Amino acid sequence: MLFGSTHLDYKKESKSRILQVKRIIEHSKSSPIPIIIAGDFNASSGSETINLMDSEFIRTCNSFPPTIPVNNPSRAIDFIFYKRILRIN
């Protein structure tokens, strides 16, 4: 099993964050083993960033507790995703 941790770009309108997620997805396609990736994606459910991750990975749950802002958190930006590798013999 491969485990990855991430802290994606924090800027509000980040093209880098999308490129970072695309690179994660690209790397995952060549992995012969299951993958877990967790961390601060600096994006909420429904964003382009999370939608891209959802297209290739499975979220561990659909209801993540809010983690931002620090005082009185109101939205989640930290997620755990996994990807199974199916082997056909």
How far is residue 15's CA from residue 19's CA, in Å, rounded to a whole number? 6
Averaged pLDDT for residues 58-79: 90
pLDDT digits (tens, 9 = 90+) for 17-32: 999 999 999 999 888 8
How high does pLDDT run on average in the chain? Answer: 90
Q: Is 24 helix (H, G, I), strand (E, B) or coil?
A: helix
Selection from 48, 52, 47 nearest residue 37 by Cα: 52
What global pTM score does this model have?
0.87
80 vs 71: CA distance, rounded Å: 22
